[in-house]
């Protein structure tokens, strides 16, 4: 049984939909200068239950700023899209031919490689060009099995899920390397950006785990397959882990960035107010639904009008089937950036629909550089849902430096009432981590606080310099290539951009040390 709202608790009464495509520049000026009630604007659809709260409020300048950003992202959509295609083609062309000298040599030999197939297992996205590492880092033998993830480069004093790699040596099955939960989740979140063939190759042949499937899922509001995720287990039989990893915000996809920044939310009963864009990505059916069961029904309607997989429903079925095949397996959900938001929303929807069998198997939700997903009610919903034990669920949110994405959508109530929840570890300096108190946000919570300007630029320069010398100190696994260095240089111009790179999140897990939480 799931949650079914009473007749008086109609979801349509609690919503704020900002139609950015209808916003004019004169509307932005009006938001800044005239301070009219937000619900009175033609581009705002506010439910009857909360329109009275959306009058003249301190958060209105955040709405104006958000819409300015949305206009800029919309204008950059096609230039960024085609720039991304050209950049990734060029980088793969150089890499697959062994560099500039290799290109000349391959031309001479008539063996020039032209990377026209973006779905090939050796084609890498911009994310993989910035950080091409695929190997998992085993836990140190002295700490493997210890219920403390600090020494293994983890995120906090916690009981990590240990993944045991089984290898066959002749006729004997040997216990191989062990990996911390944080290592597996951060690497899975990183490779989720790649195509299906690339991911399958890494999971099966590099990690020696078991690839279950890659799923490109339909978003009815966008009209295309915009949501990607993959599922794996660490063994083909009798696995102890079922992992779901969502793809994050693609660097050249302005639509992804626009979704992260958007302020629109929908009331979801006991789940609280939830970001509309993330709900749409998972399978929201109606923005103007009269109740929660119509907006996000437990079962996908048969008259959906397409035969494409829808993220929430497809992944729920895949995980349920995997759980049946592996009765001892625990379920872990992860993602970076936009993928982190979907990783937080997916199990919350399972709880919303009363999926007790899957909730009982849920072991961890680990997100890296995730945007805010909902209000304070949402942030605590999963931890208090029936069938969930806060003592066994590892809910972890990792933030690096002044990464811009965890600081959006803005936390500026009553209009933008977005909150982070769960246990957060914030990394600063030379991957020095600090576990934040419950409800505490990372510094500069809305990113545009002028008090942090000097610190943000200092961090960006520090990361650039550190990138140049880190490999000398920590070894070749941490040596950064020219693409990563150039990306960090862009972060000097726009502080917080380079801090969003999955590379720093991987480094934080592998090199980071977390200070004990203050009482």
Taking only the tens place, the pLDDT of each residue in 448-478 is 999 999 999 999 999 999 999 999 999 999 9
Q: Which residues sit opposite 330 in a β-bridge?
A: 241
Which of 490, 491, 471, 473 has the alpha carbon at shortest distance from 481? 471
Q: Are the C-beta atoms of residues 252 and 83 closer than 8 Å to each other?
A: yes
Q: Which two tokens stand for residue 81?
A: 């899209």
* Homologous superfamily assigned to 11-75+117-156+181-515: Alpha/Beta hydrolase fold, catalytic domain (3.40.50.1820)
- 409 preceded by cis ω (within 30°)? yes
Active site residues: 337, 403, 500
User: Is residue 518 very low, low, confident or very high in pLDDT (cuts 50, 70, 90)?
Assistant: low
Q: Which residues sit opposite 398 in a β-bridge?
A: 368, 425
Helices (H), 225-298: 254-261, 276-282, 292-295
Which of 373, 366, 386 has the alpha carbon at shortest distance from 505? 366
Q: Quick one: pLDDT at residue 393?
A: 85
Quote the pTM value. Answer: 0.92
Q: Are the C-beta atoms of residues 507 and 137 closer than 8 Å to each other?
A: no
**13-51, pLDDT tens digit by residue?**
688 899 999 999 999 999 888 878 888 899 998 876 665
Distance, CA of 7 to CA of 287 (rounded, Å) = 18
Distance, CA of 260 to CA of 263 (rounded, Å) = 9
User: Is residue 310 very low, low, confident or very high in pLDDT (cuts 50, 70, 90)?
Assistant: very high
- Dihedrals phi, psi of 20, to nearest 5 degrees: -60, -30
User: Is residue 164 very low, low, confident or very high in pLDDT (cuts 50, 70, 90)?
Assistant: low
Distance, CA of 3 to CA of 5 (rounded, Å) = 6
Q: Quick one: pLDDT at residue 154?
A: 47
Q: Quick one: pLDDT at residue 388?
A: 77
Helical pair 338-352 and 311-325, crossing angle rounded to 10 deg: 70
């Amino acid at each position: 049984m799931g949650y079914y709202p009473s007749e008086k608790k109609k979801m349509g009464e609690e919503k704020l939909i900002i139609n950015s495509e209808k916003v004019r520049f004169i509307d932005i000026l009006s938001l800044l200068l005239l301070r009219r009630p937000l619900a009175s604007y033609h581009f705002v659809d506010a439910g009857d239950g909360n329109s009275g709260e959306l009058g003249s409020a301190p958060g209105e300048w955040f709405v104006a700023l958000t819409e300015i950003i949305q206009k800029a992202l919309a204008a950059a959509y096609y230039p960024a899209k085609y720039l991304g295609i050209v950049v990734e083609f060029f980088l793969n062309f150089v890499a697959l031919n062994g560099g500039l000298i290799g290109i000349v040599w391959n031309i001479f030999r008539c063996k020039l490689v032209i990377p026209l197939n973006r779905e090939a297992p050796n084609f890498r996205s911009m994310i993989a060009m910035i950080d091409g590492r695929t190997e998992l880092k085993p836990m140190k033998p002295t700490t493997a099995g210890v219920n403390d993830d600090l020494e293994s480069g983890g995120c906090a004093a916690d009981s990590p899920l240990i993944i045991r790699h089984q290898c066959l040596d002749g006729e004997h099955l040997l216990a191989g390397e062990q990996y911390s939960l944080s290592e597996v989740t951060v690497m899975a979140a990183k490779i989720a950006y790649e195509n299906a063939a690339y991911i399958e190759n890494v999971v099966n042949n590099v990690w020696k785990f078991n690839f279950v499937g890659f799923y490109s899922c339909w978003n009815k509001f966008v009209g295309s397959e915009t949501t990607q995720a993959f599922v794996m287990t660490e063994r083909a039989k009798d696995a102890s882990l079922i992992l779901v990893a969502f793809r994050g915000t693609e660097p050249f996809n302005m639509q992804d960035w626009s979704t992260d920044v958007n302020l629109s939310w929908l009331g979801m009963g006991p789940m609280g107010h939830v970001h509309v864009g993330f709900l749409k990505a998972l399978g929201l059916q109606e923005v103007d639904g009269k109740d929660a069961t119509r907006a996000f029904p437990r079962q996908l309607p048969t008259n959906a009008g397409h035969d494409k997989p829808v993220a929430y429903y497809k992944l729920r079925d895949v995980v349920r089937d995997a759980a049946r095949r592996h009765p001892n397996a625990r379920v872990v959900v992860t993602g970076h950036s936009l993928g982190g938001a979907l990783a937080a929303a997916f199990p919350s929807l399972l709880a919303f629909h009363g999926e007790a069998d899957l909730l009982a198997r849920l072991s961890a939700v680990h997100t890296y550089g995730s945007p805010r997903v909902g209000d304070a009610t949402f942030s605590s919903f999963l931890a208090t849902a029936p069938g969930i034990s806060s003592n066994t669920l590892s809910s972890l949110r990792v933030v690096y430096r002044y990464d811009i994405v965890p600081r959006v959508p803005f936390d500026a109530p009553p209009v933008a009432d977005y909150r982070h929840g769960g246990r957060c570890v914030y990394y600063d300096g030379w991957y020095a981590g600090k576990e934040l108190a419950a409800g505490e946000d990372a510094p500069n919570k809305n990113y545009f606080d002028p008090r942090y300007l000097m610190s943000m630029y200092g961090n960006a320069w520090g990361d650039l310099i550190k990138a140049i010398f880190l490999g000398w100190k920590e070894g070749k696994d941490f040596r950064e290539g020219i693409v990563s260095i150039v990306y960090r240089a862009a972060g000097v111009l726009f502080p917080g951009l380079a801090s969003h790179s999955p590379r720093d999140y991987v480094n934080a897990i592998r090199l980071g040390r977390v200070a004990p939480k203050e009482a």
